[in-house]
């Protein structure tokens, strides 16, 4: 019988089962040329299987090993575009921001500066001060690139619960305002050390708010940090908020109070850079 090339190769590769294998064995026994071909293919396979084995003995290059660690998990990043965007965001631990959003603002010093007393930008709310009016509008809608108005917006963050914090500089009153979101239990039990690490060695004032990127979100903005006068660049003041970090109270992890809710037609979760 004649054995097709495919069958011969499959035989050499051990892919034939009982009946077919016996068939080929019989044919090989009867045909010396066929047997020689089978032997040649067996030798070839041995050569092929060994020819590239150097790769198994060599140490793996570091960049390949690193590649197995470096990529983001699919759960964290939905797409390549998100991955690129994520790389440009500052590497904050967002839990600090969430804690600050939940904390009450005590000892707040507000430099009224050029703020119009008839249109206050920061006003008392149920659990602390709440942004109003021009400041609230700016926090809701303004992009950091817009430096023309009375309020300059610096950096915005989104923490893991979707709450946003933004820094602002309103003509002498600078601070950090966080979107008051119900943080449900995440605001509690967080160690103080985590919060202190948020700013590191960075300095405040101009440097602080300029350093951050943009996000926008519609909601109520509550200053949670101790606003201070905007400093000249190069001063060594810590970023706004550092002094005001403290244990959140039980009542802080829910949406505050009343007051005019400003509408802004922004898609939740949209991030603009």
Report the b/e string of 221-241 with b at 16+ CB within 10 A: bbbbbbbbebbeeeeeebbbb
Closest distance to other proteins from the beta carbon of 39 (Å):
7
Q: Assess 43 for contact with other proteins (CB under 8 A).
A: yes
Q: Assess 109 for contact with other proteins (CB under 8 A).
A: no
- Give the span between the Cα atoms of 170 and 133, in whole angstroms: 12
Which residues, 44 to 73, sit near other proteins by CB under 8 A?
44-45, 47-49, 51-56, 58, 60-61, 63-65, 67-69, 71-73
- Give the span between the Cα atoms of 206 and 239, in whole angstroms: 9
Closest distance to other proteins from the beta carbon of 168 (Å):
36
Q: Which of 10, 108, 256, 271 touches other proteins by CB under 8 A? A: 10
Report the b/e string of 97-136 with b at 16+ CB within 10 A: bbbbbbbbbeebebbeeebeeeebbbeebebbbbbbbbbb
Return the number of the residue (6 or 201) whose C-beta is nearest other proteins.
6
Which residues, 213 to 242, sit near other proteins by CB under 8 A?
none
Sketch the per residue contact string, 69 through 98, with other proteins: x for CB under 8 A, - otherwise: x-xxxxx-x--x------------------
Residue pair 226/240 in contact by the 8 Å Cβ criterion = yes
222 to each of 105, 174, 192, how far by Cα in Å? 9, 13, 21
Return the number of the residue (1 or 148) whose C-beta is nearest other proteins.
1
Considering Cα of 71, then 75, then 78, then 81, what sign does the dihedral take? negative
Q: Which of 21, 41, 171, 257 touches other proteins by CB under 8 A? A: 41
Closest distance to other proteins from the beta carbon of 44 (Å):
4
Which residues contribute to the site for other proteins (CB under 8 A)? 4-6, 8-10, 13, 15, 33, 36-37, 39-41, 43-45, 47-49, 51-56, 58, 60-61, 63-65, 67-69, 71-75, 77, 80
């Amino acid at each position: 019988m004649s054995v097709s090339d495919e069958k011969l190769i499959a035989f050499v590769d051990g892919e034939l089962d009982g009946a077919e294998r016996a068939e080929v064995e019989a044919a090989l026994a009867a045909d010396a040329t066929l047997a020689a071909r089978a032997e040649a293919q067996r030798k070839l396979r041995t050569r092929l299987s060994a020819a590239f084995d150097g790769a198994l003995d060599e140490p793996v290059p570091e960049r390949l090993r690193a590649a197995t660690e470096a990529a983001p998990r699919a759960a964290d990043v939905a797409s390549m575009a998100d991955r690129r965007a994520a790389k440009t965001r500052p590497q904050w631990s967002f839990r600090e921001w969430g804690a600050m959003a939940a904390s009450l603002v005590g000892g707040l010093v507000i430099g009224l500066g050029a703020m119009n007393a008839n249109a206050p930008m920061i006003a008392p709310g149920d659990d602390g001060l709440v942004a109003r009016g021009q400041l609230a509008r700016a926090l809701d809608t303004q992009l950091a690139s817009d430096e023309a108005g009375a309020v300059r917006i610096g950096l915005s963050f989104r923490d893991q619960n979707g709450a946003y914090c933004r820094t602002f500089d309103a003509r002498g009153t600078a601070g950090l305002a966080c979107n008051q979101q119900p943080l449900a239990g995440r605001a509690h039990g967080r160690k103080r050390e985590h919060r202190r690490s948020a700013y590191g060695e960075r300095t405040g004032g101009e440097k602080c708010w300029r350093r951050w990127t943009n996000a926008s979100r519609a909601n109520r903005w509550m200053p949670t940090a101790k606003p201070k006068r905007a400093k000249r660049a190069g001063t060594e003041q810590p970023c706004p908020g550092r002094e005001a970090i403290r244990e959140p109270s039980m009542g802080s992890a829910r949406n505050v109070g009343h007051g005019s809710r400003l509408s802004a037609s922004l898609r939740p979760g949209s991030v603009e850079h």
